[in-house]
Amino acid sequence: MRILDGKMNNTERAESITEALKKSRPNAKSELTHKNPLEFMVAVILSAQATDKSVNLATPSLFEKFKTAKDYGSASVDDVSAFIRSINFYKTKAERITKACQYLVANFNGKVPSDVSDLVKIPGIARKSANVISQEIFNVVEGIVVDTHVTRVSQRLKFTKEKTAEKIEKDLMNIVPKKFWKDFGVQIVLHGRYVCLAKNPKCLNCPVNKWCPSAKF
């Protein structure tokens, strides 16, 4: 039964949806394999327009070869590319990784910073990636992660009509209570990946279908 009778505002719906998704997926977190902040940053760069599964298949040998930001920063693009050829746009991503790590060495003593304002200064790290890194690794929450899944699900939930990640994030930050920003982002990413699919969404098996105006039964 849908709860869309007008008695709930968007913030109340967002709270209910987040809580329901947390019950459905209580241990939700990024599915990128990593052991430290640097590995996670590299994996995030590799994950653009690629599946987490494909990234996780490529990174073990990469992480075995390159241990520090200095290792990546002093390597050639071809050196890094050799380990990630199975990933889309591997040469571009190899260049981004080397430049990002050179920046870390020059500005942060080779360490990954925790604040979004610092992370977005790193070559190859846009706001979405910065939010992911700061929240997943440091539990620093300064916004809401907006990727293709969050974009699609948020539009279906009628939380936004915007098309760009920046504007969608602003809409969501105005709707979702701050205490839920991290949970909302990671839960909606996974919900979009496994349930609210781009084609043929699994509405019948959706744990939040009663709050969704786009649900089809």
Catalytic residues: 128, 147
Give the Cα separation of 32 and 28 in Å (integer): 12
**Residues composing the chain:** 217
Q: At what angle do helices 52-65 and 37-46 cross, to 10 degrees?
A: 130
Give the Cα separation of 152 and 85 in Å (integer): 29
Give the Cα separation of 130 and 118 in Å (integer): 9
Give the Cα separation of 185 and 162 in Å (integer): 17
User: Quick one: CA torsion of 180, 181, 183, 185, rounded to 10 degrees?
Assistant: 150
196 assigned ligand-binding residue: yes
206 assigned ligand-binding residue: yes
3-state secondary structure 53-93: HHHHHHHHHHHHHCCCHHHHHHCCHHHHHCCCCCCCCHHHH
Q: At what angle do helices 148-156 and 165-175 cross, to 10 degrees?
A: 50
Annotated binding site for [4Fe-4S] cluster: 196, 203, 206, 212
